[in-house]
């Protein structure tokens, strides 16, 4: 018997309805997609794990360019399977001022709904989704383990804002 491929089959396609979620941020506050969408578009950035070089670099890019990623009509959130206390320490150390959400329990449940969970490794691949205010996915991309998002990925996602 062959083992099924554990890597996510692929991210939600453009045009899909984004699954609703309620997760806790690094300050243990509840965050829902529907509440975020009240402001406007939402960029959802799945990342594998805190305290890793590639993840720090990607989220550091968001931090260093925050006006592009958080304004009156866009909110960016990062999502990982790590627990809120870990995200609190990491975000404080790195100066991340945007929400870092915990997909801890059920473990990877939201990542799974978005099609980016690697079940063998127990964490999300790097999925990037732009969700419009109406709840539809306008941008969808995923890179596998060991790969990093490029500046072109960020630029393409942000170019599709409402």
For the annotated catalytic residues, the residue numbers are 55
- State the helix-helix crossing angle for 53-64 and 151-159, rounded to 10 degrees: 50
Distance of CA 98 to the CA centre of its chain: 11
Whether residue 87 contacts residue 59, with contact meaning beta carbons closer than 8 Å, is answered with: no
Q: What pairing do the DSSP bridges indicate for beta strands 126-131 and 123-124?
A: unpaired
Closest residue by Cα to residue 65 from 97, 38, 36: 97
Can you say whether the dihedral through the CA atoms of 140, 138, 157, 21 is positive or negative?
negative
> In whole angstroms, what is the distance from residue 87 CA to residue 18 CA?
24
């Amino acid at each position: 018997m062959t083992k099924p491929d554990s890597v996510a089959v692929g991210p939600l396609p453009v045009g899909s309805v984004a699954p609703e979620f309620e997760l806790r941020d690094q300050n243990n506050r509840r965050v829902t997609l529907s509440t975020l969408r009240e402001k406007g578009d939402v960029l959802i950035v799945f990342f594998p794990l805190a305290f890793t070089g590639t993840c720090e670099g990607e989220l550091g890019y968001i931090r260093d360019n925050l006006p592009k990623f958080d304004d009156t009509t866009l909110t960016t959130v990062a999502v990982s399977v790590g627990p809120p206390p870990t995200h609190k320490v990491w975000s404080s150390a790195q100066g991340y001022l945007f929400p870092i959400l915990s997909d801890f329990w059920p473990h990877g449940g939201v990542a799974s709904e978005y099609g980016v969970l690697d079940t063998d490794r127990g964490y999300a691949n790097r999925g990037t989704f732009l969700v419009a205010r109406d709840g539809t996915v306008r941008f969808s991309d995923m890179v596998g383990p060991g790969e990093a998002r490029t500046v072109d990925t960020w630029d393409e996602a942000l170019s599709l804002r409402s």
